[in-house]
Each structure stands twice: as structure tokens, then as C-alpha cells.
């Protein structure tokens, strides 16, 4: 399938963090030039989020035969092959941990053209940001010149995201693609419909940066009602469905430990780090 072309800023415009902050200024500050288009690969790319920093983490990332990966952080942990995409996870990582400095310093190694925005700002356990604060900080991310993904909210139907996108449009802020998380029951048709509706609402390319089967009502005494077989059927169908959608650019399955009460059926690795049958399936797709 043909991929549309998207504008990106020149990587040469990248500067030291202080310079980027000065460039960002305010949402109405300086014009940010656009340059030659970036043509994305013809195929939707399979990815994975993994924060490991040791040799086992490298082995696990390699075992999944990925097209890209991320760490929920601004710098790679163990490899740039498969390609790494940085994220500015939160206000704290942006302002206190030099997130954009890391992105800039590692450009020669990562060669990334993309930057992921705040992680679950609508979740008190994650970025936990108001829309207005995210809008205030957004020009700092824009100033990198990288193709910029929206904050990744907890649901495609997020009211936080709707508010953010409205305010970003009104202020002329750049959002190049929409990122989202989806934790679903094992109904591929329902999942794919949510992704279609998300695209139709904002008219932008989609990255599903976390998705898996989850039973949020599961407890220690009432385990998940979903089986690994159901999960694997869902994985097959959703990977095929996402790849059939020309507006979906990338997706990434989310794993948890194999014994997790709510998401154990979605686990890609056994406790010893080897692939589960679900992990082997993901590697094969």
C-alpha cells in the first residue's frame, strides 16, 4: 500500500537543549520551517516497548524480530537495531532529566525521525498532566524538528486527547500523528473499529504504542477470564487488520510478567526471559 508523505523539520535544526528551549519560547513564537518530506516504509511496522537495560533485554528485543522499539524514555538502553524511537515521557523528564538533550546527543546513533509525546497524561500513575500544561510545554518538543506524535492517552476515546488536539489546533501547534493505548477484550473487530474511529476523528496517521488483551476485573481469587488461545487469535487478527489500514503506521504489543493477574495471557516472555507461545507468534508476524 502506498504511504502518504509527511513533512518533517531538518535535523540540522537540532541544537543544544538551551537553544531548543529558546527556540520554543511560546506557542506563538517563531516560525518553525518545514523541509523535505519523509516517506515512510510501505508496510506498517511492528514494534515493542521494553525498558530493560541488560543483556537479557537485548536478547528479548532481538527475539521478537521487530521493525522498531522504544523504552518510554528519551535514550535507548541496549540497541539501535531494531531502530529506537525516543519519548518525552512526562514534564519531569522534560524539565528535570534533560530528555531533549538525550534525544539530540544520540541522533547520530539513533537516526530517528520521530519523537513520542507524553505517556498517559490522563493517568495519575503516569505523566499525570493537565491539558493546559501539556500545551504550554509542547513547543519544546516541536523545536526538535522531529516528526511528533501526540501524547499517548489511556484510550482512543480519551476526553483528554480531544481537548489537547482542539487546543493544539487553535494555537497552531504541530502534531504529526496520533498515538494511543488500547487494552481490550479479545474482539479484533471491536479493537480495529476503535482505531478507525480515532483516525476519522483527527484525520492523522495512527501509532498504537501499547495494546494487549487485559481483564481489569481479574483478582487473585478470580483470574483473568481470557485464555492464551483467545489472545493469540486476537493478535493474529489485529496485526493483519492494522497492516491493512493505510493510516496505521506502527503498532507495539504490550507485555507484562507471565504470572500477571490481569494480563498474563498477553505475556510475551516466560519468567526466565524466553518466549511464550504468544511471544513466538508475535515474532512470526
With CA atoms as reference, report the closest residue to 223 among 210, 214, 211, 231. 214
The string of pLDDT tens digits covering residues 58-86 is: 999 999 999 999 999 999 999 999 999 99
pTM (predicted TM-score): 0.85
The more confident residue out of 196 and 6 is: 196
Mean pLDDT of 275-281: 98
Fold topology of 43-284: TIM Barrel (3.20.20)
User: What b/e string do you get for 135-160 counting C-beta neighbours within 10 Å, with b at 16 or more?
Assistant: bebbbbbbbbbbbbbbbbbbbbebeb
The string of pLDDT tens digits covering residues 160-190 is: 999 999 999 999 999 999 999 999 999 999 9
Domain ranges of the chain: 43-284
Q: C-alpha grid cell for residue 214?
A: 487485559
Amino acid at each position: 500500500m502506498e504511504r502518504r508523505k509527511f513533512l518533517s523539520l531538518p535535523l540540522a535544526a537540532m541544537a543544544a537543549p538551551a537553544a531548543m528551549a529558546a527556540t520554543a519560547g511560546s506557542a506563538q513564537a517563531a516560525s518553525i520551517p518545514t523541509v523535505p518530506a519523509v516517506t515512510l516504509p510501505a508496510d506498517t511496522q511492528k514494534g515493542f516497548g521494553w525498558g530493560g537495560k541488560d543483556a537479557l533485554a537485548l536478547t528479548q528485543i532481538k527475539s521478537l524480530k521487530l521493525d522498531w522499539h522504544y523504552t518510554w524514555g528519551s535514550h535507548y538502553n541496549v540497541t539501535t537495531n531494531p531502530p529506537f524511537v525516543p519519548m518525552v515521557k512526562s514534564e519531569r523528564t522534560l524539565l528535570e532529566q534533560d530528555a531533549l538533550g538525550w534525544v539530540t546527543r544520540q541522533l547520530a546513533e539513533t537516526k530517528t525521525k520521530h519523537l513520542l509525546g507524553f505517556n498517559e497524561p490522563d493517568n495519575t500513575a503516569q505523566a499525570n498532566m493537565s491539558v493546559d500544561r501539556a500545551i504550554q510545554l509542547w513547543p519544546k518538543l516541536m523545536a526538535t524538528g522531529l516528526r511528533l506524535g501526540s501524547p499517548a492517552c489511556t484510550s482512543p476515546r480519551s476526553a483528554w486527547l480531544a481537548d489537547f488536539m482542539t487546543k493544539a489546533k487553535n494555537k497552531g501547534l504541530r502534531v504529526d500523528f496520533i498515538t494511543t493505548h488500547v487494552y481490550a477484550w479479545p474482539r479484533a473487530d471491536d479493537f480495529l473499529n476503535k482505531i478507525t474511529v480515532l483516525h476519522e476523528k483527527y484525520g492523522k496517521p495512527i501509532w498504537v504504542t501499547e495494546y494487549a488483551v487485559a481483564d481489569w476485573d481479574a483478582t487473585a481469587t478470580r483470574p483473568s477470564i481470557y485464555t492464551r488461545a483467545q489472545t493469540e487469535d486476537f493478535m493474529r487478527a489485529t496485526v493483519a487488520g492494522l497492516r491493512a489500514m493505510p493510516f496505521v503506521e506502527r503498532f507495539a504489543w504490550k507485555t507484562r510478567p507471565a504470572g500477571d493477574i490481569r494480563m498474563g495471557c498477553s505475556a510475551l516472555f516466560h519468567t526466565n526471559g524466553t518466549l511464550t507461545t504468544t511471544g513466538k507468534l508475535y515474532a512470526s508476524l
